[in-house]
Structures are given as structure tokens and as C-alpha cells.
Amino acid sequence: MLTTLFSLYGILVALNVLDGISTWNVVKPNFYARETNPVARWMFIKLGITRGIILAEVLWIGFITLVFFLFYRDQVMSTVLLIFLCVGILVFLQVVSGNFRIWKRIRQRKSLLASQAAEKEQDAERA
């Protein structure tokens, strides 16, 4: 059980790091409205995107770590912790995959706009 708990904890921490990276890619340079979490959006506005994401991830990973080390030794609480970690992993899988889908659409839109601008420039040169 202990190995499973530590593995799930590691996966959840890794997903939180990926959440920070994918959020940064979606929200940069200052598209705060893309952040759906109002507390995180407020932190990004007040601290800037990079510092806000770092603070948000440190706080969240710190909370996960605190809960993990408070509960992992007790038999009953370790079962609760197992459920907590599994639910957290499912939630953050959804969040991270959603962020990466949005980031992909943003890149596609930028690429399309760049190609349209290049076509207009070529048309202007031909005329």
C-alpha cells in the first residue's frame, strides 16, 4: 500500500507541474481571462504569470505534501488518502489535457493568422 501511495503522490505532483507549464503556455503573455480559476487568475494579475504560477503550484503541491505526510502512516487514513490521490489524479489529468488542447488551438490559430498575413504580403508585392 505504501508503494502505491508514494507512486500516486508522485504522479499527482508531476501532473501539478504539467498544469503549471500548460497554464503558462495558455495564459502567456497576458491573456488572464483564459484562466478559469478565479483565485489563480487574481494571483496572475497581481504577481504576473510566472510568479503567480510558481506560487500557485508551490501552494498546491505543498498542500498535497502536507496531507500526504499527515495521513500515509495510519491504516484508515491511508485509505482516505488513496481515494484523495486517485480523485486528484483524475481531476488534474482532465485539467492538463484541457490546457494542452487549448494551447494546440492557440498555436493553430497563430499559424493560420501568420500564413494569412504572408499571403496578403505576397499579394501586395504582386500588385
pLDDT tens across 26-49, in order? 998 888 888 988 999 999 999 999
Averaged pLDDT for residues 19-23: 94
N residues, the chain: 127
pLDDT per residue as tens digits for the range 88-104: 999 999 999 999 999 99
- Confidence at 127, pLDDT banded by 50, 70, 90: low
52-56 long-range contacts (CB < 8 A, ≥24 apart) are 53/20, 53/23, 53/24, 54/20, 56/20
The pLDDT score that the predictor gives to residue 105 is: 93
The pLDDT score that the predictor gives to residue 92 is: 95
Report the number of secondary-structure helices (H) and strands (E) in the chain.
Answer: 4, 0
* pTM score of the predicted model: 0.79
C-alpha span between 38 and 81 (Å, rounded): 27
Closest CA to 18 of 97, 111, 113: 97
Mean pLDDT score of the chain: 91
The pLDDT score that the predictor gives to residue 122 is: 82
Q: Is the CB of residue 23 less than 8 Å from the CB of residue 96?
A: no
